[in-house]
Amino acid sequence: MAATQRVTVFGAYGHTGRFVVAELLARGFVPVLSGRDAEKLKAQAYGTDLAVRPASVDDPAALDRALDGSAAVVNCAGPFATTAAPVVEAALRAGIPYLDVAAEIEANADTFAHFADRAREAGAVVVPAMAFFGGLGDLLATAALGEWTAADEAHVAYGLSSWHPTAGTRVAGAVSRERRDGGRVRFTAGRLEYVRGELPTQDWDFPAPLGRRPVLGEFTMADVVTLPSHLDIPEVRTYMSAEAARDLAAADTPAPVAADAAGRSDQTFVVDVRVRAGAAERRAVARGQDIYAVTAPLVVEALTRVLDGRTRAVGVVSAGEVFDAADFLRALAPHVTVELPAP
């Protein structure tokens, strides 16, 4: 087995981690299963020849063993406020790329703030938020901008048919709420700021088949970190369909349930991105099924491009900065269908 085929997945037994492991196998990689719970890892590996390397974020030596001989590491273990920094540190020690699927705004901001200089100086590639939230919106906005070098505003509207959160999503949300001390975050005038008060509501004209739907404005997701990390856009707003927001807020909403042989739920999504410069507006749209499952082709496509050198930058980088956004989005078929502005 060639070393370049091996990829450590930290948090391999989690809901999203399992999708990532399956996608890696489908694309010819050899996952190394890692995470805190040795018994869950053994159960996941049962009947396969996949290596199991338990590790916890407070044990650097175990993390080093988990990454030994791997070409890269994909961190799927939340809350990323706890796991991202130790696993990035381990990746830098190993001299391999790091990618994660973090949707936590503060955790992603911390990765950019704490590791930008070190990763750049080392010539390393660190890609946070390479997932449905953060990565996909950034790719769509970057592709929509095209030859524009700046815009006045970017709006990312999420039309989710429902949102049955995983246990990991609920834990990450609780960590974020604690860090915000009851406030909420938005990106305006070129910076993140914390505010209080109810989320504004409005209607959003999604493309077919959704049409006009009520959304919560300033339902802020990781796009407010990824887009401004490389795009000159002082106002970045994200919106969430009201029905999905209600599901997420309800304590009794169950976890996702598989509805097909791939393990995907029946949740569908439309991501509608609009960028405005003066009076001109451009739009990019993505459609697909299951926000957790679709993270797997997103992060594995990114991993593939990092390992084969189809990158445009080093350091801590977002998807739109390091990859050819339009080409990347087209490569996601059939998992995601996209509509992009004409070049």
What is the band of 169 on the pLDDT scale with cuts at 50, 70, 90? Answer: very high
Beta strand pairing call for 6-10 and 153-160: unpaired
Q: Which of 214, 296, 225, 279 is nearest to 31 (CA)?
A: 296
With 80 as the cut, is the pLDDT of residue 285 above it?
yes
Domains and CATH numbers, the chain: 3-131+296-322 (3.40.50.720), 132-291+329-339 (3.30.360.10)
d(CA 316, CA 310): 16
Contact 130, 299 (CB under 8 A): yes
CA distances from 291 to 79, 162, 298, 336, 340 (A): 18, 10, 11, 11, 20
Nearest to 92 by CA among 122, 65, 130: 122
> The pTM is what?
0.97
Mean pLDDT of 152-181: 95
In the chain, the percentage of residues whose pLDDT exceeds 70 is 99
Which residues on adjacent β-strands are paired with residue 283? 274
Contact 243, 162 (CB under 8 A): yes
- Pick 188 or 343 by higher pLDDT: 188
* CA 164 to each of CA 175, 184, 238, 268, 286: distance values in angstroms, whole numbers, following the listed order: 18, 22, 19, 12, 20
Please tell me the predicted confidence (pLDDT) of residue 311: 98
> Is 50 exceeded by the pLDDT of residue 2?
no
pLDDT band for position 1 (50/70/90)? very low
Averaged pLDDT, 301-322: 98
pLDDT at 182: 82
The two tokens of residue 9 are: 């997945």
| pLDDT of 181 strictly over 70 | yes
Express each pLDDT in 227-250 by its tens digit: 999 999 999 999 999 999 999 999
Both tokens of 279, joined, read: 């009076």
Exposure letters 185-204 (e unless 16+ CB within 10 A, then b): bbbeeeebeeeeeebeeeeb
Q: How many other β-carbons are positioned within 10 Å of the β-carbon of residue 299?
A: 29
Share of the chain above pLDDT 90, in %: 95
